[in-house]
């Protein structure tokens, strides 16, 4: 889904570039643009352009080019064209957000903005960084205000949420017939398999000494693994989990792959002040799923394909119509 989101971002921005109902009007100084009725602040837009950092870098590396950019008609025209391009790209995001909302899909704007603000404040409060240091850091990144920074995080998250929720909504619209399920299963049986799996018990300890002593007493017959597990379970320091043996990088996979059910591992250090014992309860090899077992995955895959086809072929036309009926107003004080 992440790869699809990035690909779709490129698609929407290219579509927005092709046609946009855009005009220039004199707006208040605190506004950069209005997308339909959604107002975008000037401070936020300045941060979007990253112009402060760009000009600072140019000045440090090529003073002559900096003077050309900032003091000649050609240079100012180039900067204005760049600002327009940023405005067009950003308005494409906002228009798509509004397009999704026009389909009756709630994106939870208020909760999202509140969560982003709360997370930011929590990080700052827990770090003990002073307000002045926060301001200095944000300024170094091109944000004159905290609000401009939060707005950037908000719109990026809102845009990605719009893509994901609209994609999910469209995929659930499609009814999949039994005939489609049967055809998909017959054509792609090798894709519908249950991976090799293992069920294991894990007991956690806060130090190596306790873990080592417990392991020795279990292997010497003084303790029973299951009894220790039940005691640790009461402390929320024990679990039974099922792992996919095809997943690389899982900290348990190598232990399980190389041993049989019933095996109890030596203490394993898996983090600071965290040691574990593992017992393999069962292992099962990879096997093909029956059509009934695979049915839900088949339905998901077929819906996913239909949704992707909609996004590739139908959505561009629908979004084009939405743009034609929309209005983007740029502040003529900032653009010319």
CA torsion sign for 103, 92, 118, 236 is: positive
**Paired tokens of 300:** 């998901």
Quote the pLDDT of residue 328: 94
According to DSSP, the β-strands at 287-288 and 193-194 are antiparallel
Q: Which two tokens stand for residue 206?
A: 């806060």
> Which pLDDT value is given to residue 134?
87
How confident is the model at residue 13, as a pLDDT?
46
Question: Which residues in the chain are classed under CATH 3.10.50.40?
Answer: 193-288
Beta-ladder partners of 302: none
Task: Describe the strand order of the beta sheet including 268-271 as a list of residue ranges.
Answer: 238-244, 197-205, 274-284, 268-271
H/E element, 311: none
Q: Which pLDDT score, from 0 to 100, does residue 130 have?
A: 87
Arch. (CATH architecture) of 193-288: Roll (3.10)
Cα torsion through 124, 129, 130, 132, rounded to 10: -90
Helical H segments across the chain, by residue range: 2-18, 42-49, 51-61, 63-71, 73-102, 109-127, 131-140, 146-173, 178-187, 208-219, 225-234, 253-257, 291-309, 315-324
Instruction: Report pLDDT digits (tens) over 135-160.
Output: 888 888 888 888 989 999 999 999 99
- The alpha carbon of 104 is separated from its chain's Cα centroid by a whole number of angstroms, namely 23
pLDDT of residue 142: 81
Please determine, for residue 101, whether its predicted confidence score (pLDDT) is greater than 50. yes
Tell me what pLDDT residue 6 has: 44
Classified as helix, coil or strand, 245 is coil
Q: Contact 171/306 with Cβ under 8 angstroms?
A: yes
pTM here? 0.75
Cα-only R_g, the chain? 29
For 196-232, write each residue's pLDDT tens digit: 999 999 999 999 999 999 999 999 999 999 999 999 9
Burial of 277 (0-12, 13-18, 19+ CB in 10 A): buried
Q: What is the pLDDT of residue 7?
A: 52
Confidence class for position 57, pLDDT limits 50, 70, 90: confident
Cβ atoms of 44 and 148 within 8 Å: the answer is yes
Q: How far apart are CA 103 and CA 106, in angstroms?
A: 9
């Amino acid at each position: 889904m992440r790869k699809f989101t990035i690909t779709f971002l490129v698609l929407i921005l290219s579509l927005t570039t092709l046609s946009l109902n855009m005009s220039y009007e004199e707006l208040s100084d605190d506004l950069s643009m209005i997308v339909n009725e959604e107002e975008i602040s000037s401070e936020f837009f300045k941060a979007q352009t990253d112009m402060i950092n760009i000009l600072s870098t140019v000045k440090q590396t090529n003073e002559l080019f900096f003077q050309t950019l900032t003091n000649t008609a050609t240079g100012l025209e180039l900067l204005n064209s760049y600002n327009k391009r940023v405005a067009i790209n950003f308005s494409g995001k906002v228009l798509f957000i509004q397009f999704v909302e026009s389909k009756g899909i709630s994106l939870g704007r208020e909760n999202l903005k509140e969560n982003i603000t709360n997370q930011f404040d929590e990080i700052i409060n827990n770090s003990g960084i002073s307000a002045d240091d926060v301001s200095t850091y944000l300024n170094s990144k091109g944000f004159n205000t905290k609000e401009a920074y939060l707005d950037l995080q908000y719109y990026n998250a809102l845009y990605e949420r719009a893509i994901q929720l609209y994609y999910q909504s469209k995929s659930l619209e499609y009814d999949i017939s039994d005939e489609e399920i049967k055809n998909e299963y017959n054509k792609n049986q090798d894709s519908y398999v249950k991976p090799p799996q293992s069920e294991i018990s894990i007991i956690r300890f806060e130090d190596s000494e306790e873990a080592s002593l417990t392991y020795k007493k279990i292997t010497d017959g003084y303790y029973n693994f299951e009894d220790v597990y039940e005691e640790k379970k009461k402390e929320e320091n024990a679990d039974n989990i099922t792992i996919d043996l095809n997943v690389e990088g899982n900290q348990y996979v190598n232990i399980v792959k190389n041993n049989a059910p019933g095996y109890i591992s030596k203490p394993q250090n898996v983090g600071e002040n965290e040691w574990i014992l593992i017992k393999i309860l069962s292992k099962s090899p990879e096997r093909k799923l029956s059509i009934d077992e695979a049915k839900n995955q088949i339905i998901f895959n077929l819906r996913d394909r239909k949704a992707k086809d909609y996004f590739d072929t139908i959505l561009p036309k629908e979004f084009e119509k939405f743009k034609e009926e929309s209005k983007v107003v740029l502040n003529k004080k900032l653009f010319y």
